Structures are given as C-alpha cells and as structure tokens.
Amino acid sequence: MINLELPEVIKQAEHMARMLAENVFRPISRKYDKQEHDYPKELDALAGARRSGGNRSGAGSSNPKKAAPGTVVNAGNMLGVSSVAQLCWGDVGLMMAMPGSGLGNAAIGAAGTPEQKEKYGNCYASMAITEAGAGSDSKNVSTTATLDGDEWVLNGEKIFVSDGERCSHIVVWATLDKSKGKAAIKSFIVEKGTPGCELIRVEDKLGLRASDTATIRFDNCRIARDCLLGDKPEIAETAEERKKAFGGVMQTFDNTRPMVAAMAVGVARGALDMCEELLAKEGIELTYDKSRTEISAIEAELYALEAEWEAARLLVLKAAWMADNGKPNSTEASMAKAKAGRMCNRVTLQCVELCNNLGYSEENLLEKFARDSKILDIFEGTQQIQQLIIARNVLGKSSADLK
C-alpha cells in the first residue's frame, strides 16, 4: 500500500532541488527566456551532481525485483518526480536544459540491456519520436531502419526533439517494415556526429525557451548492430508477440509520463505560490478556516485551484510508486499525465487572470509560467491520447477496438 509520507532521503533530495530552483533557476529564468538559444552556462556546475538532484534520467532506474518480498520500494521514480517538481517550481525550461537529463536517458534506463545501461550511463540522450506525419500516433513513424550486415541504416526526419542540439546521443524510433505497423517499431541509440545524422534547425517556441528543441534528419546514417535498444531485432509475428514488442517500446512512456506530470505539478505550484504572494499584499489570504459563504470569489477560485493541484500531485506519486514497486502503471501514468497537464494549464492561466496587470506583464514570472505550461499538456502524449489509453485500459479494449 502506498504511504503518502515521503521517506527522509527523498525529502532531503526535494530540499536540495528546491534550493537549486530558488537560488540558481529563478534568478536567471527571465534571462534565458529572452535569450532563447543561448546555452545556460550557469548550469555547467550542476553536471556532476545531476543524479543526486533527481532528474528525468532517473526514470526506470529502480529495480524492484531485487527487493525482499513485501518490501515497499521508493527508488528512482519517486525520487525523480519529487525532485523534478521542485526544480520546475524554479524553471521547467532550465530543468530540461540541465546537462545529461534528456528523455532518451529514461528510455535507455527502461528498455536497455545491462551492457547498454553501463555503456551509455553517463551520456546525454534526447529522444526522437515525433515526425511531421506521425505526432501522437507513435506507431505510424516513417523513419526506417534497415539491417545491412553488421550495421543498421537509418533514414527519415524527426521534429520537436527536446535537447536535440545539446545532447550527445539520440534515441530514435524507427520502423523495420512500415507494412507491419507497430510490431516493427524499434528504438536505436545514435551518437551525435555520426555521418548521416544532421541537425537541420533549432525551433523558436512559445515556452520552455531555455531548453533547445531541434529537427534532426537521418540520411543513410549507419550505426552498429548493437545500437538497437534492447536485444530483440526480430519483427513480432503473432498477436501476442506484437503486443509484447510494442509494449516494450512504449514502456518508456510509463516511466516518463509521471515525470512530465511532475513538471506540470512543479510549474503550477510555482504559479500558485507567486499568485498567492501577490494577492496577500492586497489583503487576500487563504486561511482555510472559513466556510464558502464567508469567502470572496477570488478566495473560492484559489481554493479550487489548490484542490486541483493536490489531486494531480497524488496521481503522480501513485504512478511513480507503482513503477518503483514493479506494478503495471500504464493507466496510472496516463491518468497522472492527463490530470497534471490539464491542471497546470488551468492554474497558470487563472493565476495570470487573478493578478490582473501583474500577471500579464513581464514584471513577474506568471505570464512565463502560463506559456511554459502549454507544452506540458502536449508532449509525451497529448491530452486526447492519454484519455484514449485510459479508456482502452479501463474498458479492456485494444487499439483496434477503440481508436
């Protein structure tokens, strides 16, 4: 059973992350929001300590099989979501720009062989999934991977690759045979600088401006045979094999979606704290000791936003706890992502509105929180995709039954 009281070691990591957010991220937040494509050099000092601070690459790093039967585990996933939320209280873009914290690291941690985890343990890996013709529908990727002797040859183009410019490696989703659908989807680890791997452009964005987002093209890019993530190069043939094969690829999301949800929880908390601080100066404070008939409309709205935030936070903790304890968490990961993404959008925009001109101007960070929040409801699977996954799992439907 989940215990809602976090262990002391995670509380200490949360405290460290909050100190980073408050003393490193917040002071430079506006600077790198305006200087979008400049690398935040202040983060270089964090490179050596990134694991102790908790980051996205921690996802999937726990190994519940080693725990004694009946033991409750709070490991990499719980540490990750707790610390990420605190870092994003400071600045979600800067958190994503931290050296070595790419989403590809989580993919390697979730699906890599022991040898791959050892070899790429200290790399900075982005993850390339999205294509112009295959956004949320990951099984329809068109980038191809063809085995030629002892090498894989990749061809295709990926868009919206987070950390695509600054990373050292890229985890690329590609198909071995487009006609076989999701059964032929595999992931490959490509080192940046490999011939045929070309950075096309870095995007200008609404939010997360401190983090780079790139378009990358693969043109007869040759990589070694053992760069296939995992150890199963065969295309699944039977229905059961196809389900397991694509499920293994999608396992990455079961670990990373709670992390993205934690980002949303952190951004929303930052907006709520700033909003409540500004309103307190105007004599509006939450005391939690009045009935609804005794409070103002603004207070009532703040109470509602706080309740939304708490619900999202608890869903994130549950999804992370299940991952750490070896329990299937696909439904819970999607629930956390869907709830937190929607909550963060609503909270940040309402905080802008409640603070009037102070919320809309660049005098404070509220307008930036609102811009940053939008992508948190989109990447790692849109709101609609999360609801579809939840519906399939709850109703016991397959992707063919419920589209």
In this predicted structure, the answer to whether residue 56 has a pLDDT above a threshold of 50 is: no
SS (H, E, C) 141-187: CCCEEEEECCEEEEEEEEEEEECCCCCCEEEEEEECCHHHHHHHEEE
Tokens of 57: 């690459």
Q: In CATH, what number is assigned to the domain containing residue 189?
A: 2.40.110.10
Contact indicator for 309, 347 with CB cutoff of 8 Å: yes
Question: Does residue 1 belong to any structural domain of this protein?
Answer: no
Q: In CATH, what number is assigned to the domain containing residue 111?
A: 1.10.540.10
Q: Are residues 69 and 37 in the same domain?
A: yes
Picking from 207, 237, 267, the residue at the C-terminal end of a domain is 237
Question: Does residue 2 belong to any structural domain of this protein?
Answer: no
Please report, for the chain, how many H helices and E strands are present, in that order: 13, 7
Q: Are residues 92 and 167 in the same domain?
A: no
In this predicted structure, the answer to whether residue 364 has a pLDDT above a threshold of 80 is: yes
CA angle, 75 then 78 then 83, to 5°: 115
Picking from 237, 253, 282, the residue at the C-terminal end of a domain is 237
Provide the strand spans (E) within 176-264: 185-191, 197-202, 213-224
Q: Are residues 165 and 246 in the same domain?
A: no
H/E segment holding residue 254: helix 239-280
Residue 222: predicted pLDDT: 98
Nearest to 100 by CA among 144, 153, 149, 45: 45
CA gap 384, 389 in Å, rounded: 9
Q: Are residues 232 and 155 in the same domain?
A: yes
Tokens of 301: 């709205």
Question: Does residue 44 belong to any structural domain of this protein?
Answer: yes
CA gap 52, 238 in Å, rounded: 43
Residue 55: predicted pLDDT: 40
Q: In CATH, what number is assigned to the domain containing residue 267?
A: 1.20.140.10
Q: Are residues 107 and 138 in the same domain?
A: no
Domains held by the chain: number: 3
In this predicted structure, the answer to whether residue 306 has a pLDDT above a threshold of 50 is: yes
H helical segments located in 281-329: 297-324
CA gap 7, 394 in Å, rounded: 31
CA gap 216, 186 in Å, rounded: 18
Place of tokens 């999202």: 312
H helical segments located in 179-238: none
pLDDT digits (tens, 9 = 90+) for 275-298: 999 999 999 999 988 888 899 999
Question: Does residue 348 belong to any structural domain of this protein?
Answer: yes
Picking from 91, 117, 143, the residue at the C-terminal end of a domain is 117
The band of 52, judged by pLDDT with boundaries at 50, 70 and 90, is very low
Question: Does residue 63 belong to any structural domain of this protein?
Answer: yes
pLDDT digits (tens, 9 = 90+) for 179-190: 888 888 999 999
Q: Are residues 326 and 354 in the same domain?
A: yes
CA gap 147, 158 in Å, rounded: 20
Q: State the DSSP string of 122-137.
A: T--EEEE--BTTBSS-
Contact indicator for 266, 54 with CB cutoff of 8 Å: no
The band of 375, judged by pLDDT with boundaries at 50, 70 and 90, is very high
Amino acid at 124: Y
CA gap 206, 239 in Å, rounded: 42
Helix, strand, coil percentages (3-state) for the chain, rounded to 5, are 55, 15, 30
Q: What are phi and psi of 244, to 5 degrees?
A: -70, -40
Average pLDDT of 297-317? 97
Let me know if 161 is exposed, middle or buried by CB neighbors in 10 A (0-12, 13-18, 19+): buried
Contact indicator for 128, 199 with CB cutoff of 8 Å: no
Q: Are residues 256 and 224 in the same domain?
A: no
Q: What are phi and psi of 380, to 5 degrees?
A: 65, 25
CA gap 347, 343 in Å, rounded: 6
Q: Are residues 226 and 338 in the same domain?
A: no
Question: Does residue 403 belong to any structural domain of this protein?
Answer: no
pLDDT digits (tens, 9 = 90+) for 64-123: 545 566 677 878 899 999 999 999 999 999 999 998 778 888 889 888 999 999 999 889
Average pLDDT over all residues of the chain? 89
Catalytic residue set: 380
CA gap 48, 23 in Å, rounded: 18
Q: Give me the domain span that covers residue 166.
A: 124-237
Q: Are residues 288 and 148 in the same domain?
A: no
Average pLDDT of 300-319? 97
Q: Are residues 22 and 162 in the same domain?
A: no
Question: Does residue 402 belong to any structural domain of this protein?
Answer: no
The band of 264, judged by pLDDT with boundaries at 50, 70 and 90, is very high
Q: Are residues 194 and 246 in the same domain?
A: no
Question: Does residue 3 belong to any structural domain of this protein?
Answer: no
3-state secondary structure of 327: coil
Contact indicator for 163, 208 with CB cutoff of 8 Å: no
The band of 58, judged by pLDDT with boundaries at 50, 70 and 90, is very low
Q: Are residues 373 and 252 in the same domain?
A: yes
Residue 243: predicted pLDDT: 58
CA gap 379, 347 in Å, rounded: 18
